[in-house]
Chain A
Amino acid sequence: MKHDLIIKICMGTGGIASGGLDVMHAFRNQLGKKSIKADIKKHCSMHKVGCRGLCAKDVLVDIILNNVKTTYQFIKPYMVERIIEEHFINGNPVLEWVVSEDYHQFHDNQIKVVLSDCGIIDPEEIEAYINAGGYDALRQVMLTMSPGETIETIKKSGLRGRGGAGFPTGLKWEFCSKETSAQKYIICNADEGDPGAFMDRSVIEGNPHAVIEGMIIGAYSIGADNGYVYIRAEYPLAVERLRKALQQARKHKFLGKKILGKEFNFDIKVKLGAGAFVCGEETALIASIEGYRGMPKAKPPFPVYKGLWSKPTVINNVETLANIPYILRNGAEWYASFGTEKSKGTKVFALTGKIRNSGLIEVPMGIPLREIIYDIGGGIENDMAFKAVQTGGPSGGCIPAKLLDIKVDYESLASVGSIVGSGGMVVLDENDCMVNITKFFLQFTQSESCGKCTPCRIGTKRLLEILERISSGNGRDGDIKLLEDLSHDIKATSLCGLGQTAPNPILSTIKYFRDEYEAHIKEKKCPAGVCKDLLSYIILDQFCKGCGACKRVCPAGAISGERKAVHKIDTQTCVKCGACIESCKFKAIRKG
């Protein structure tokens, strides 16, 4: 059935949080009214779609009227009536609500493989995926290719694990396929624990079938008949869509017994994570699925030889698996044509922080960082100065402004002390304190350390203590050296990736922002004005109008002054919450 009018509403976690459901109801209500002509109703279809990346502009609505697409941004329910009136009935889009130039700039500079169907197809309908070519790759693999040929194609494509470590996917599959065992497993790692990363959530919310198809192909290649998706319980919408998609796939006989009439049985179970960052580590994840505390084990033996319940197991990340169908559909050469010599293909990044176009992006490996920040990201929010970009989350590092022209791929980022990681990119501006950010990451790794090995359990605690004393103005001479020494020891001796990478934020910030550490330690100053203990708030006499707004909001009663006279802050009672600065309309309060 052909529809002349298609409405697509962004309905990922971001879209729903911004009121996507209300907008959808508004469309339904308004279109249901009697005054709307029957032929519009008849030719109209409405779909929810997954994340298209630019969540900062949600709710985004696509209207496709007679094959012409118009995209609206920041849509609220009250706007719907006018859109229907002017656009649907009179054929004139409401220009003032249409997306601006930066929306196109954001998308035009990307190359989408994994995300090519996200935000376009309805993630809750298997037919939408099939109509877009979905499950063709599975058919092609199972009817025309042997497991060995499939693995060879993936190897040729150069695809490397997108979870962070970057191990070649084809090679992993090959190792496992050569194991002789009556039982093998494939696990999809959707325990996206890095703070500041949401690639996997968006892929599962936007196109869950691509992940499922990738898993089935993987299982066929290595000879597994059971699969698990280990997914964070903090992602309720992704879990719901994944479960729905699994049911649909079973109904269409892509999962179950004798898939596509072949002697191949495979099914997938969903396992909910219970909130432990360390479970992103392969052996800890396996322990968690088995029902134990998620503590890592020493490798080797690697999971491909001895994994879940001691059987050969392949663990792939969500994005890695979602790439598989597209690679097989378009060919290994096509995929390998993107990217660099050693890092092939595209990578999805979560671009967040102090960036104008915050959202989910997909770019070819090797793209200069500057292009990501300025061409796609549109530059820094509020025209502040760029300071650094933090990549790879708590395991990664900060890249300073002078390295903006660096290429974004596994090798280049590693060469400057950071990592690609799972793909989080948090942009920091001049108002961010690097010591504070580092302390934030160490708080995270310290509390998420599982406690099994001593260097990580005690070492991260000591690192955090030193950072805390530096940021509270009690830093000592030699603290920087101590941080560095301790960091190297922890990296060298920790059992798993968590401990081995936990000191990275420290080492990279000391390398590029040593002067900030020195200012905290020697001058007892926080140059960015973030570390509370090193700040004091003062009212500038010449700007204060004596309106009393600050006095009213001060929770500590630290501000005094008569009406229409200059106010004063008592630094002894001040709790440095910053409420006064927010309340002052005359910019009369300064911290320093």
Chain B
Amino acid sequence: MEKILNKLYTNYKKDAGNIISLLQDIQNEFGYIPEDAIYWFSGRLDIPASRFFGIATFYAQFHLAPRGKNIITTCCGTACHVKGSERLINGLMKELDLPEGETTTGDREFTVEKVNCVGACSIAPVVIINDKVHGKSSTDNLMKAIRKLKEKEN
């Protein structure tokens, strides 16, 4: 970890970056923002850790907890909403056995995230599975895709 942080530190100094770009870089490396990384940079840059946390919790993009191997992003934009995204999400939570308020499964295989709008409203409802956009989703084909991913793991 130290080595990666040092690399990020050098980039930060070189590009005259700011805390947001630094947090984006940390998340690109680790998939989330480890608390230790924040304290490391806080000490190194002499910026209070509270400023890092303030920014990390302000923006929806940052995650302070580790995420699953498969990331499923459900779009909750207006068009997706009127085309039934809520039912998709409910079905998804049930299939993955995720209780209300949780986003990552216990085995860290899946993370379900909601996003405001991915801007693909013409093909609503939209679900993004591991960066691949699936338009005109239905509970059926979504479940099929999830089960396929599960099988792959076993």
Please give the residue numbers on chain A whose beta carbons come within 8 Å of chain B beta carbons, in ascending order: 13-14, 16-18, 54-56, 58, 192-198, 201-202, 233-236, 272-277, 288, 290-294, 350, 352-354, 358-360, 390, 393, 424, 426, 428, 432, 437, 440-441, 444, 448, 450, 555, 577-579, 582
Given contacts A16-B133, A17-B126, contact A292 B119 (CB under 8 A): no
The one of B20, B118, B124, B139 in contact with A352, judged by C-beta atoms closer than 8 angstroms, is B124
If A13-B119, A198-B121, A234-B119 are given as contacts, then 19 extra A-B residue pairs at C-beta distance below 8 Å, sorted by A number, are: A18-B135, A55-B120, A55-B122, A58-B123, A193-B116, A196-B121, A198-B117, A198-B122, A234-B117, A275-B59, A275-B60, A291-B20, A293-B55, A350-B121, A353-B82, A354-B82, A424-B78, A444-B116, A450-B58
- Residue from A193, A293, A354 having most chain B Cβ neighbours under 10 A: A293
The one of A197, A276, A426 in contact with B58, judged by C-beta atoms closer than 8 angstroms, is A276
The one of A55, A194, A293, A432 in contact with B117, judged by C-beta atoms closer than 8 angstroms, is A194
Name the A residues within 8 Å of B119 (CB-CB): 13, 192, 197-198, 201-202, 234-235
Closest 8 CB pairs of A and B: A291-B18, A198-B119, A196-B78, A195-B77, A275-B60, A274-B59, A55-B122, A17-B133
Q: Once bound together, how far apart are the Cα atoms of A291 and B52, in whole Å?
A: 10
Interchain CB contact under 8 A, A14 and B117: no
Which residue from chain B places its CB closest to the CB of A427 in the assembled complex?
Answer: B82
Q: What are 19 A-B interface contacts by the 8 Å CB criterion?
A: A17-B123, A18-B123, A55-B123, A193-B117, A194-B117, A195-B117, A196-B78, A274-B24, A274-B60, A275-B60, A275-B61, A291-B55, A292-B19, A293-B59, A353-B82, A358-B124, A426-B79, A426-B121, A577-B90
Please give the residue numbers on chain B whose beta carbons come within 8 Å of chain A beta carbons, in ascending order: 17-21, 23-24, 54-55, 58-62, 76-79, 81-83, 87, 90-91, 94, 115-124, 126, 131-135, 139
Name the B residues within 8 Å of A353 (CB-CB): 78-79, 82-83
- Residue from B76, B118, B126 having most chain A Cβ neighbours under 10 A: B118
Interchain CB contact under 8 A, A56 and B94: no
Interchain CB contact under 8 A, B94 and A555: yes
Q: Once bound together, how far apart are the Cα atoms of A195 and B116, in whole Å?
A: 6
CB distance from B109 to the nearest CB of A (A): 21
Interchain CB contact under 8 A, A578 and B87: yes
Interchain CB contact under 8 A, A198 and B18: no
Q: Once bound together, how far apart are the Cα atoms of A444 and B115, in whole Å?
A: 11
The one of A16, A17, A18, A196 in contact with B77, judged by C-beta atoms closer than 8 angstroms, is A196
Which residue from chain A places its CB closest to the CB of B134 in the assembled complex?
Answer: A17
